[in-house]
Every structure is written in structure tokens, then in C-alpha cells.
Amino acid sequence: MKRTAVNPWAWSLNFGYNQAEIVEGTQRHLVCAGQTAVDAEGNPQHPGDMRSQIALALDNLEAVLGAASMSLANVIRLQIYTTDVDEAMKHFDILGSRFGPLEVAPPMTLLGVTRLAIPPLLFEIEATAAD
């Protein structure tokens, strides 16, 4: 898979994402459902703790990707939903620590919502991946 960043403006790079990417030479696409801070039985974890919820949501995303023989390096698009945009952005270094070493900056959208499907949850991340 070949990825070519498209950034007519550089400001998004400060937030860890490209404005767009041209993705060529893929064979498989994986569309992941929103991953949240739940345990293996679907029980919400870390109520009120945005940082821990982001970390666990990313762990769960990595588990889904791994089950498809992929990793965060294969992610070509992120959609993020949070009940508190300001609080989530304070902890975006977690995303940087996971995606940065892989040298990928998938295009993303961050949306503030009034609530997620399960009320104690504060953060949900959807991904599209390809290889």
C-alpha cells in the first residue's frame, strides 16, 4: 500500500493528521465499528476519566485491527466522537504516541456529541484500514 499525504495547508500536521491521503495498491479494506472504553464483556470502564477511556478505546481498536491481521499502521481514516471536545483534545498526545512512531497521520474528524450509546462513555473512535 502506498500513502501520499495531501496537505494544501500544514496546520493539521500540528494536530497529528493529514488533510487527505491518496491510498494506492490496496487489497483489503476493513471498516471498524466505533471502539470505546469497554472490557471484553462490553462493560464501560474508567467513568469520568477521559485519558484512560481514550487509551482503552485505542487498545480495543488495536485488538480489532489485530484480529484482521492489521495494525494502526493500516488505518487510513479516523472518525472520533466525544462528549467533551476540549477535554479529549488535552489527551490527543495518546493518539500521537500510538500513530507517530508508525509515521502515519490518517485523515480524521473529531465531533462533539451530547452522549454516546452507553452514558458513562466519553470517547469513541471509528477507523477504516487497508492493506
pLDDT digits (tens, 9 = 90+) for 24-78: 999 999 999 999 999 999 999 999 999 999 999 999 999 999 999 999 999 999 9
Would you state the pLDDT for residue 15?
87
With a CB cutoff of 8 Å and minimum separation 6, the contacts of 25 are: 1, 2
Q: Give 96-100's long-range contacts (Cβ < 8 A, gap of 24+).
A: 96/16, 98/58, 98/62, 98/72, 99/16, 99/72, 99/75, 100/16
* Domain layout of the chain by residue ranges: 2-130
CATH architecture of 2-130: 2-Layer Sandwich (3.30)
Instruction: Provide the b/e sequence for 62-71 (b: ≥16 CB within 10 Å).
Output: beebeeeebe
Grid cell 471502539 in the structure block, residue: 35
Average pLDDT of the residues of the chain: 96
Residue 47 near residue 120 (C-beta atoms within 8 A): yes
Would you state the pLDDT for residue 65?
97
HSE toward the beta carbon, residue 17, CA cutoff 13 A: 17
Whole-angstrom Cα distance, residue 18 to residue 101?
15
Which residue, among 29, 32, 31, 6, has the nearest Cα to 17 in the 3D structure?
6
